[in-house]
Amino acid sequence: MSTSVAFEKARGEGRAALVGYLPAGFPDVQGGIDALTVMVESGCDVIEVGLPYSDPVMDGPTIQAAAQRALENGFRTADVLRTVEAVAATGAPTVVMTYWNPVSRYGTERFATDLANAGGAGLITPDLTPDSAEEWIAAADSHDLDKVFLVAPSSTDARLRYTAEACRGFIYATAVMGVTGARASTSDLAGPLVARTRAVTDLPVGVGLGVSNGDQAAEVARYADAVIVGSAFVRPLLDAPDTATGLKALAALTEDLAAGVRRG
Amino acid sequence: MNGQLTDNGPDAQGRFGDFGGRFMPEALMAALDELTAAWQEAMADETFVAEFQRMLREYAGVPSLLYDATKLSEVAGARILLKREDLNHTGAHKIRNVLGQALLTKRMGKTRMIAETGAGQHGVAAATAAAYLGLECTVYMGEVDTQRQALNVARMQLLGTEVIPVTSGSRTLKDAINEAIRDWVASVDRTAYCFGTAAGPHPFPAMVRDFCRGIGDEAREQCLELTGALPDAVVACVGGGSNAIGLFTAFLEDESVDIFGFEPGGDGVETGRHAATIWAGEVGVLHGARTYVLQDEDGQTLESHSISAGLDYPGVGPQHAHLADIGRAHYRPVTDAEAMDAMALLARTEGIIPAIESAHAVAGAMELAEERPGSTILVNLSGRGDKDMGTAIEWFGLGQASEDGTPEPATEKQIAEGAK
């Protein structure tokens, strides 16, 4: 199921979609599935499942810590597929966000096959741009999967067009020049980037990096088709003294953000 | 240096055969394009090339000597020539790369340089170039390495560079690279990333090679002058591979010259504790390039091990991966023990204490000499060993002398002091 289903639904309701991220295997595989299920039940329209990787150059300390914990607990690539299968079963379109080497190692075609069989919607690839994605694009197309590439405030108009042409599902606009992590205020670079992206494509544009509460979500929802939240979802799980408390905080945060995208 | 791009690759996408390329966040693509264009323009600009050469000559002490190591040759049974990069300012070939990148940084109008460092050699070189050219400089260094290499941290600080200990991941070189990339994503408008080896995303492998290729260009000419012929083989150690590609480039078209890279075999490749990436790794993507990577079944990067911090890296420059793939160059492992034996041998035969990195190349040359007696083997002695005395004291049990003059092992305290 393509993520476009969720974007159409949100558009029909006159609001932005809420996209929520957690790394798979954090705190452990079942714990991650439980947390992502809570996020779906509390208002996430699309789920991004991260594939923990040893060298995450686009991630700030919060997601690094969670991914590191997953790896220390013995996370395997197959666990991300298990997680996708469980989350996709809730009905929410579910994509995997991954650095390229784990997929390359698993085998691009094999990963695409297994992801499609698990009910996954596609991939977000933070360190793979269309320039180097020939193999992935072919595999995604043959398995009817979304290809979500990133655009950045530094992307030239030519690169925006080039990237947008290679995307399916939506386009991930990084709101700041920097890595993942909650920020106190929203970026003034995101609005212009979304406007420049819209000028070259009709695909939905999601904005990520730095959003952590309903008010920020509402602000971003005014100009973007989706608000993408990652580190802020990881934080309560890292901080909570026990699972129940963590999931409760996660539900409350999701509701706050879901209300935010409806105020935008 | 001839100011021309070589015809040994990469292609326009930065690929050497199946290797290399640019696996990087989109946020850095514009900067990498800008860097590629600026570098290519600079290399075609006689003024830039002349200024680079002037700095190398007047400041770095280049061209380095090609030394006919007659005493070592006697032991080896082959003629061994040493390219004395250990005599350069800051004690290694790395000064060539950092002067090139720092000069390019100035040309691009950027005011700040960042760098990663393992043991601190590239960090010290980058800090030196930044001081010389008046650039602000920040160096990322794994926390584990800052503790092992306090002397190099102090050097960088004295040179006016800010040293930031990296506490993520395995807290070593690869994590320092990750953190430098994270800094660069957020600061790219005024900051240049001075990458320390011929690896990473395009254009770094080609750019670093071209800044270092003077090693081979000089050595080839010096060898012809000294011996009247080309060497039978050229030899270098390979971690990321900047000194090796700097040597090899001049000889790639010389069919009669065999090319050998020696990788850090650590405790022995069969033990799993090594950093012999081409020998034992598999193709993957690390730090922006497709290359050989030490990785597990799931593509997670494995921790590498070598007695030589400068070779202790789980990836390798993509052009080396390509040269291995097409069979133009051969890569073999040398263990910690073999490298340390070679360090002692060179010290005692020639009075030259090499860096442990370079001792891997010397050990490799001794192995080749046995296989091909009477041949001429040109070795890149990429750095000097002063920085490695802590390791040597511990390894050989040096540091104190008894009354009859025999060495006695240093005390734990002395070792700890030396290791700093």
**Strand B399-401, strand B407-409: pairing:** antiparallel
Q: In this predicted model, what pLDDT tens digit does every residue of A138-178 receive, in sequence order?
A: 999 999 999 999 999 999 999 999 999 999 999 999 988 88
Listed in order, strand segments (DSSP E) in chain A are 17-23, 46-50, 94-97, 122-124, 146-148, 150-151, 171-174, 205-208, 226-229
At position B13, the amino acid (one-letter code) is: Q
Percent of chain A with pLDDT over 90: 92
Q: In this predicted model, what pLDDT tens digit does every residue of B71-94 receive, in sequence order?
A: 999 999 999 999 999 999 999 999
* pLDDT of amino acid B418: 52
User: Is residue A185 predicted with pLDDT exceeding 80?
Assistant: no
* pLDDT of amino acid A183: 77
Residues of B in contact with A54 (CB under 8 A): 169, 300-301
User: Is residue B1 predicted with pLDDT exceeding 80?
Assistant: no
Taking an 8 Å cut-off on Cβ atoms, the answer to whether B26 and A101 are in contact is no
User: Is residue A23 predicted with pLDDT exceeding 60?
Assistant: yes
Residues of A in contact with B295 (CB under 8 A): 101, 105
Rg (CA), chain B: 20
Q: Is B73 a catalytic residue?
A: no
Taking an 8 Å cut-off on Cβ atoms, the answer to whether B22 and A129 are in contact is yes
Q: Is B94 a catalytic residue?
A: yes
* pLDDT of amino acid B5: 43
Restricting to B residues 185-244, those with a Cβ less than 8 Å away from any Cβ of A are 185-189
Residues of B in contact with A154 (CB under 8 A): 26-31, 188
Order of strands across the sheet that contains B19-20: B15-16, B19-20, B289-293, B282-286
CATH code of residue A127: 3.20.20.70
CA atoms within 13 A on the CB side of B206: 28
| Secondary-structure class of domain B63-91+213-393 per CATH | alpha beta
* pLDDT of amino acid A246: 96
Q: Is B168 a catalytic residue?
A: no
Taking an 8 Å cut-off on Cβ atoms, the answer to whether B22 and A100 are in contact is no
Question: Which one of the listed residues B73, B83, B85, B94 is annotated catalytic?
Answer: B94
Per-residue pLDDT, averaged over B276-286, amounts to 98
Q: At what angle do helices A29-41 and A243-263 cross, to 10 degrees?
A: 30
Mean residue pLDDT across chain B: 94
Q: In this predicted model, what pLDDT tens digit does every residue of B11-31 receive, in sequence order?
A: 999 999 999 999 999 999 999
Domain B15-59+93-208 has CATH 3.40.50.10800: no
How many structural domains does chain A have? 1
3-class state of residue B210 by DSSP: helix
Question: Which one of the listed residues B350, B382, B387, B394 is annotated catalytic?
Answer: B382
Query: With b meaning 16 or more CB within 10 Å and e meaning fewer, what string describes B230-246?
Result: bbbbbbbbbbbbbbbbb
**Helices H / strands E in chain B, number of each:** 17, 16
* pLDDT of amino acid B213: 98
User: Is residue B3 predicted with pLDDT exceeding 50?
Assistant: no
φ/ψ bin of B168: left (φ > 0), alpha (ψ from -120 to 50), beta (otherwise): beta
Tokens of A27: 């705190």
* pLDDT of amino acid B405: 75
* pLDDT of amino acid B267: 97
* pLDDT of amino acid B417: 59
Any A CB within 8 A of B18 CB: no
3-class state of residue B272 by DSSP: coil
**Strand A226-229, strand A205-208: pairing:** parallel
Q: What are A's interface residues with B at a Cβ cutoff of 8 A?
A: 53-58, 60-61, 64, 68, 71, 76-77, 100-106, 126-129, 131-132, 149-156, 159, 163, 174, 176-179
Closest CB from B27, B189, B299 relative to A105: B299
Per-residue pLDDT, averaged over B361-376, amounts to 98
B11, burial (CB in 10 Å: exposed 0-12, middle 13-18, buried 19+): exposed
Percent of chain B with pLDDT over 70: 97
Q: In this predicted model, what pLDDT tens digit does every residue of B198-220 receive, in sequence order?
A: 999 999 999 999 999 999 999 99
* pLDDT of amino acid A19: 98
* pLDDT of amino acid B147: 84
3-class state of residue B1 by DSSP: coil
Count of positions (residues) in chain B? 420
Per-residue pLDDT, averaged over A84-89, amounts to 98
Partners of B234 in beta bridges: B259, B378
Any A CB within 8 A of B174 CB: yes
What residue numbers bound the domain in which A212 lies?
A: 4-263
- The segment(s) of chain B belonging to CATH 3.40.50.1100 are 15-59+93-208, 63-91+213-393
In angstroms, the separation between the Cα of residue A136 and the nearest Cα of chain B is 13
Name, in order, each residue with C-beta under 8 angstroms of B256's C-beta and a sequence gap of 6 or more.
B230, B232
3-class state of residue A97 by DSSP: strand
C-alpha span between B285 and B309 (Å, rounded): 22
User: Is residue B2 predicted with pLDDT exceeding 50?
Assistant: no
Q: In this predicted model, what pLDDT tens digit does every residue of A205-262 receive, in sequence order?
A: 999 988 999 999 999 999 999 999 999 999 999 999 999 999 999 999 999 999 999 9
* pLDDT of amino acid B406: 75
C-alpha span between B35 and B297 (Å, rounded): 35
pLDDT band at B6 (very low <50, low <70, confident <90, very high): very low
